[in-house]
Homo-oligomer: A and B are copies of this chain.
Amino acid sequence: MKGAQAIYETLQRAGIDTLFANPGTSEMALVRALDEAGTIRGVLGLFEGVVSGAADGYARMAGKPAATLLHLGPGLANASANLHNARRARSPVVNIVGEHARDHVALDAPLTTDIEAVARPFSCWVRTIGTTADAGRDAAAAIEAARSLGGPATLIVPADVAWSEGGAPADVPAGPGVRRPDEAMLALVAGMLREHGSRAMLLLGGSALGAQAVGAAARLAAATGARLASETFNVRAACGAGRPFIPKVPYFGEPAEAFLAGVDVLVTVEARPPVNFFGYPGRRGVPVHPSTQVLQAAAPGEDGAWLLESLCEHLGAPAVERPGMPTPQRPQGPIDAMALARAIAHRLPEGAVLCDEAITASLALPEVLAGAAPHDHLDLMGGAIGGALPLSTGAALGSPDRRVVCVSGDGSALYTIQALWTQARENLDVTTVICANRSYAILAYEHLQIEGKLPGPRAVPVLSIDRPPIGFADLARGFGVEAVTVDSAEALDDALAAAPARRGPFLIEAVMAPMELPPKA
């Protein structure tokens, strides 16, 4: 068989059946092989950032890798910001990137670049297939790397490797499985929790935020007094009614320091010790107090869920009654961050997947959502703006029986707005809420933090997106997605109430009330 077929056959053997694609000429044999291989489904994105962000969302929800198909170095570069986010999410993604035919590379044709160099900063594994005979084996290695290393593995496929005969599929070796912390660690953590009580904090990430795991965490908290927290941004957190409310480490350094004050021991479970998102003049970069002892109970990628269950056994932590959080009510008045959060919480369908990149507008979301119907909350993991719309697109394909709600800042949404078209094409049940505050609101605040004053007349034009106002409902319709614009909390609530009954994507442009900047921290 051809090299391209060998690659797809290898993907199929590993259970990978979805290929987010934006191909070009150098990938034509890989496009052709979609017809030949038979079970790989190609999903087109109009822009490569949609492709990579969708692969991230798919992997988070389906629990298995998606593949991407990208065109040479520039196509891979366009995908890279959301590959960065996928890498920070530890989402397994198998990038298949076309390269010129091997004897064409040296000619330095216009599209020639050093694709391996483009791939490395955003991949956990990179390889160029040398010969068609290696195509299946190298594809298997890429899948194995994406799974075991947790992140994008980039397989570069010269066009002639793909179009030539001589390929053979390969099986992906069963990996060693997810590593579990050992008994000594269990005993150590149990002892710490017992000893430090409310001066211990369990910082959860990864699988430790799954529905079962957060239940175990709540039992540990009740039994020992330990505080629970999650990372500022989480891959997939089980939230809502019946689950414990686990506060996030605050985004900004000063409230993060306050949040972490009084913690004698910080036990990390699939979480990284907190660092501030950015450095600021005169502030240290780590909000954890120097006197706090940090104990890594489970590294990212290890089995933190198992650890929490085992700790419950070890400590004999009994089942707990979950305190009911207030049931969200219909909000009223202008749409500010709180009204937005309330409307979303009020109308969130049970089992929904919430993709959150609302930045300043989502500050109130987690706490208000604690009383909403049970759902999964997916954050932007790498901070590279433009993740949420693609993420929700892939999440919908990775969990087709669940409603997806995407909450995005207006500035954020515009990096990868093309995702709406893929939602329409695939008829995905995604409700997108655009928080239209018509500015990069976070940046005006950051300007105040760093420079001590608000932006002046020459700086405002690179921080505001109000002139002309962007018509998100028009943009949505242009991409084939129905849309409404609302400017009151009641109208937002009504629109959200109507959304789940629809089939296919829907967009709500929520025109936000002008935000008051917080005083300088």
Given A103-B279, A233-B110, A278-B104: A468 and B383 within 8 A (CB)? Answer: no
What are 23 A-B contacts defined by CB distance under 8 Å?
A23-B443, A28-B446, A28-B449, A28-B450, A28-B451, A31-B447, A32-B450, A32-B459, A35-B456, A44-B463, A47-B414, A77-B121, A78-B80, A78-B386, A84-B113, A88-B110, A104-B278, A107-B275, A110-B277, A159-B450, A163-B281, A425-B467, A475-B478
- Additional A-B contact list (6), CB under 8 Å, known A28-B449, A104-B285: A21-B462, A107-B285, A117-B117, A163-B451, A473-B478, A475-B479
Distance to closest chain B CB from A364 (angstroms): 21
Q: Is residue A186 contacting chain B, with contact meaning CB distance below 8 A?
A: no
Q: Is residue A442 contacting chain B, with contact meaning CB distance below 8 A?
A: yes
Within 8 A of B (CB), among A112-147: 113-114, 117-118, 120-122
Q: Is residue A415 contacting chain B, with contact meaning CB distance below 8 A?
A: yes
Distance to closest chain B CB from A419 (angstroms): 11
Q: Is residue A29 contacting chain B, with contact meaning CB distance below 8 A?
A: yes
Contact A480 B469 (CB under 8 A): yes
Contact A101 B35 (CB under 8 A): no
Interface residue tally for chain A (C-beta within 8 Å):
103
Given A120-B117, A462-B69: A110 and B381 within 8 A (CB)? Answer: yes
Closest-by-CB residue of B relative to A82 is B74
Contact B424 A418 (CB under 8 A): no
Contact B450 A23 (CB under 8 A): no
Distance to closest chain B CB from A129 (angstroms): 15
Chain B residues positioned under 8 Å from A458 (CB to CB): 34-35, 38, 40-42
Given A77-B81, A414-B418: A462 and B23 within 8 A (CB)? Answer: yes
Chain B residues positioned under 8 Å from A349 (CB to CB): none
Contact A101 B31 (CB under 8 A): no
Question: Which residues of chain A have a CB within 8 Å of any CB of chain B?
Answer: 21-26, 28-29, 31-32, 34-35, 38, 40-44, 46-47, 49, 69, 73-75, 77-78, 80-81, 84, 88, 100-101, 103-104, 107-111, 113-114, 117-118, 120-122, 159-160, 163, 233, 275-281, 285-286, 381-386, 411, 414-415, 417-418, 421, 424-425, 442-443, 446-447, 449-451, 455-459, 461-463, 465, 467-475, 477-480
Chain B residues positioned under 8 Å from A84 (CB to CB): 73-74, 77, 111, 113
Closest-by-CB residue of B relative to A384 is B74
- Separation of A200 and B285 alpha carbons in the complex (Å): 66
Chain B residues positioned under 8 Å from A21 (CB to CB): 462
Closest-by-CB residue of B relative to A231 is B110
Chain B residues positioned under 8 Å from A43 (CB to CB): 461-462
Distance to closest chain B CB from A88 (angstroms): 6
Distance to closest chain B CB from A512 (angstroms): 18
Closest-by-CB residue of B relative to A80 is B77
Contact B28 A447 (CB under 8 A): yes
Chain B residues positioned under 8 Å from A280 (CB to CB): 101
- Separation of A154 and B270 alpha carbons in the complex (Å): 36
- Separation of A178 and B502 alpha carbons in the complex (Å): 64
Contact B29 A451 (CB under 8 A): yes
Contact A468 B74 (CB under 8 A): no
Closest-by-CB residue of B relative to A382 is B110
Closest-by-CB residue of B relative to A31 is B459
- Separation of A478 and B31 alpha carbons in the complex (Å): 33
Given A32-B455, A69-B462, A278-B100: A470 and B480 within 8 A (CB)? Answer: yes
Chain B residues positioned under 8 Å from A118 (CB to CB): 80, 121
Contact A111 B384 (CB under 8 A): yes
Choose one: B47, B278, B383, B475; the contact of A474 (CB below 8 Å). B475
Given A78-B78, A465-B46: A278 and B25 within 8 A (CB)? Answer: yes
Chain B residues positioned under 8 Å from A462 (CB to CB): 21-23, 31, 34, 42-44, 69
Contact B44 A111 (CB under 8 A): no
Given A121-B113, A381-B110, A446-B28: A472 and B478 within 8 A (CB)? Answer: yes
